[in-house]
Amino acid sequence: MRVHIADHPLITHKLTVLRDKTTPSPVFRQLVEELVTLLAYEATRDVHVTPVVVETPVAPYNGVKLARPRPIIVPILRAGLGMLEGMVKLLPTAEVGFLGIKRDEETLQPFTYANRLPDDLTGRQVFIIDPMLATGGTLIDSINYVFERGATDVTAVCIIGSPEGLAAVEAATHGREVKIVLGQLDEKLNEQGYIVPGLGDAGDRLYGTAQ
């Protein structure tokens, strides 16, 4: 598993405002979108391309275009939806599938309650987006799900991660083509499974507490 933790003052600045509990939802949503666009640049570093020749006004140019089959972006409902706009800005030709995975607040175990993804992901590059890599349970389930359907490689883009979550994903995906791109790696998880210092419940901060 490869891990990239962004180390950039613009990302740290935006994350500082995002973490602030007084930041209102509209600003929070805007910041999430901006952060994803910055993280997506690194996340798409290995996106598959094929050679193409174009004519400039002066001479032929040997360039590339995004390869087929198209990459697929999978936001994990509900908080991952807040990252979708930023991600498709960078990968406008990607397809989008949805996975609804929720964790049981008592056992902290994830369960799948919604799925809108092709059954066959053979040869597809998958970009999973979920703001918080906490216990890692949701991400492990999502990664297993897309690999079982034939995906070739998976990149997860998360805004904040925990050391416990990273270690769990590493152990569960050993030997497979997985890359994790994080805005920042925080200190730890608390007993309720929240990232410390974190930003609280990302879904609530994006969309409020209506379930």
Per the omega criterion (within 30 degrees of 0), is the bond before 197 cis?
yes
Nearer to ligand URA by Cβ, of 90 and 143: the residue is 143
* Residue 44: how many other CB atoms lie within 10 Å: 19
Phi-psi region of 178 (alpha: psi -120 to 50; beta: other; left: phi over 0): beta
Task: Work out how close the CB of 143 gets to ligand URA at its nearest, in angstroms, rounded to a whole number.
Answer: 17
Task: Work out how close the CB of 131 gets to ligand URA at its nearest, in angstroms, rounded to a whole number.
Answer: 7
Q: Which two tokens stand for residue 161?
A: 């991660």
Task: Work out how close the CB of 167 gets to ligand URA at its nearest, in angstroms, rounded to a whole number.
Answer: 16
Task: Work out how close the CB of 211 gets to ligand URA at its nearest, in angstroms, rounded to a whole number.
Answer: 14
Nearer to ligand URA by Cβ, of 56 and 209: the residue is 209
Instruction: Return d(Cα 176, Cα 43) in angstroms, integer.
Output: 17
Point out which residues bind ligand URA (CB under 6 A): 79, 132, 134, 193-195, 198, 201-203
Nearer to ligand URA by Cβ, of 164 and 177: the residue is 164
Nearer to ligand URA by Cβ, of 132 and 151: the residue is 132
Beta bridge partners of 95: 72
Nearer to ligand URA by Cβ, of 32 and 43: the residue is 32
Q: H or E element: which one contains 10?
A: helix 9-19
Question: Which of these, 110, 100, 53, 44, lies nearest to 72 by C-alpha position?
Answer: 44
Task: Work out how close the CB of 103 gets to ligand URA at its nearest, in angstroms, rounded to a whole number.
Answer: 8
